[in-house]
Structure 1
Amino acid sequence: MITDLNLILADVQANWALYLSMPFVAAAIGYGTKVVAIKMMFKPLQFVGWRPFFGWQGIVPGKAATMASIACDLMMERLLKPEDVFNKLDPHRVAEEIREPLIRSVEDITREVAAEYQPGLWEAAPESVKRLIIKRIQNEAPHMVEQIMEDIKNNITRVFDLKDLVINALVRDKELLNRVFLEAGHVEFKFIRNSGIYFGFAIGLIQAVVWAFTHNIWVIPLFGLFTGWFTDWLALKMIFNPKKPVRYLGLFEWQGLFLKRRKQVAARYGELVASEIVTPAAVIEAILKGPMSDRLFGLVQKQVQRTLDEQSGVAKPLVVFAVGSTKYQEMKRSVSEKVMQYLPETLSHMEAYAEEAMDLKNLMVEKMQELTEEEFEGLLRPAFQQDEWILITVGAILGFLVGEMQVHVMIHFAVPVV
């Protein structure tokens, strides 16, 4: 260690440019390691390299199923339940919204089934009789839809798997999963990047002083390592802690940045979920084609068969006689299957009404305001908790390598003082 103050001052004066560069290089290390860390969290979407050890996939997309499950658990426990999606839908209004496409579908289905099961009888029937049959079923169809909607609302947990919808959407579209975290925490990620500059600069000033006193070749790379590690660690701490405002040294107050922005985060998160994940179109598809769609088919079949039996009326014995009892039951099942085939296109006409009625964005925002600090932290924290030690380690290693290059520059360009 150098103890001669005059010698130290002479060295600083002779190599002032190198000393001046230290805090700026440290700031660049702090910033650069943060940029790399954030990139590594979200990119690339797919694994690049040679498995299992040589390569990388973004932490969030790499653990898409786990991330999506965590987000969904919180969503379903406190923010959104299957009942919330449907309780605001009026079955009568739904029937009105899809009346026109429904009427067209009923005519197509009736003609297809009649031609399939009794082609000769149907073709021989007068057009007026065909129209009468179709008209009767068309008139009853909206009421049937109302009954189906009531059945769905009363059996919502049996026919609609919200968790499956959310997880599939986020696992299938990893870019969307990234956006959930990036857009909810865009201010926090910006803070992480910029904090590297300020913290790194401060550490660089200390580094310059230590170098002046020691000229130890390990000082700069070790400070680089410390800068990469400490600035990552501190930035993460400042995002989520403290959970409530705390005044430090009587000079300034600080609250975890993410928790401080609850209102803005709630608004963006609610908008993103309502517009990108739990949309009317996605809900309809999940009900019609999801893992519980067979149960929906049972509800539809029950209502369709009831409607057909009622509309057959006094003619039912004749119909059964014409096509046979077994054929008549097959025909009713066929009608139910065709109704299910037509439903996606038919129900798409109610999406605008469903979006307005569900009002999921405002519902999500309202529920998010009720979250505790710990629960609210859970919206973004999983993105950091999963293997965050890797990110901090990478930051430390990059800082060390830059410091190692920096010390070689210092040795090469330093002017010796005698």
Structure 2
Amino acid sequence: MEPHVFVVAGFGALVLLTAWLPMVLRALPLSLPICCVVAGAALSLVPPFAGLARHPAEHIRLVEHATEAVVVISLMGAGLKIDRLIGWKRWATTWRMLGIAMPLTIAALAVLASTLLGLGAAASLLLGASLAPTDPVLASDVQVGHPSEGQEDEMRFALTSEAGLNDGLAFPFVNLAIALASGGLSLGHWLAVDVAWKVAVGAVLGALVGRALGWLTFHLPNVSKLSRTGDGFVALGVTCLAYGIVQAVDGYGFVGVFAAALALRASNSGHDYHRKMHDYAEELERLLMMVLLVGFGFALTGGGLLGGLTWPAAVFVVLALLIVRPLCGWVGLAGSGLPTEERAVISFFGIRGLGTMYYVAYAFGHASFEAPDLIWATVGLAVLVSIVMHGITVTPVLRHLDHRSGRDTESGQLDLALRDPQPR
């Protein structure tokens, strides 16, 4: 029998599991990503599938564009479900995580990679920039609920908004690592273009695209407006259009998509159509995530992703996830006024995932770095440990905090309304 028959059947089973598993796992200390990785690892040992496993480096462009796609869709879904209008005070926790915790994390990880792994400046910076951002795809269990379900609690809002915007700080440092590796570094050019221009263009142009599409969706004459279609896949069109326009003028498309989602939501924040678009984006994101994580499991066991792993690299991963991120997050939130437990949760649940794989694939596609097998193995182990560690702890930890705080939800996995204990 042809191998593609097994692939088609396996994909069908995966689609069914996409719908069924989240319901089954709600009350368990497990997550959908854990099940996907385990399934991929197990399938790579089955004879009809064994020959399909590949190392990500063998298909660098495919890995780059596949992870890019799921990240941008995730960013659209994250932006649409945030009820809170953007503002300096309203988003104070987010700015702390982006402006203080994020740069500290990148610097600490880069120094740790240089010291512990013996890597040069370019490779160390690449590891720091790739492992610093909270992944918008795998962080869904700690994010806010559906649009207009109620006011977000500060903890989930901080993790959702941070995951949506931290690419705007990670990407400049990935580009700096590429410049260092290729020998074409100009600090002035990097500050002017990679930091100032690309971030500003992503934020401003993305917001303009979102506003324009918000007008077409909600404010045209009744017979013409997009919201009358009731089609959730409009969210995919908004995502692709915003991303393409921002990328075309050399801005950060990730920032552009999230800004477009926020602007679209703000154009008529209470409309039921936001729920329709968000649900479509979330379903598509979940399906793509499952496919990629099954592939990740394949690469772990059958593709030799961890083949270049060393004991210092394993120690690096443990320190990165258990010490560096929590400590930098704790420092960033100092003086925020958040309760100690919520401050600890925000600092700890900096989940690493498909975004990290994207940054590494993107960098390797644009420059040559030393010790590529070591870098792949290190980020592969970091993503695996994060998926397992955060996936097991998220439900009991959030259920405990919600119970202590008197909120009317047990975890971010349960689609119930939230009450915000802080004024907006």
Q: After TM superposition, is the score higher than 0.5?
A: no
| TM-score, normalising length: structure 2 | 0.21
Which structure has the larger Rg over C-alpha atoms?
A: 1
* Higher helix proportion (structure 1 or 2): 1
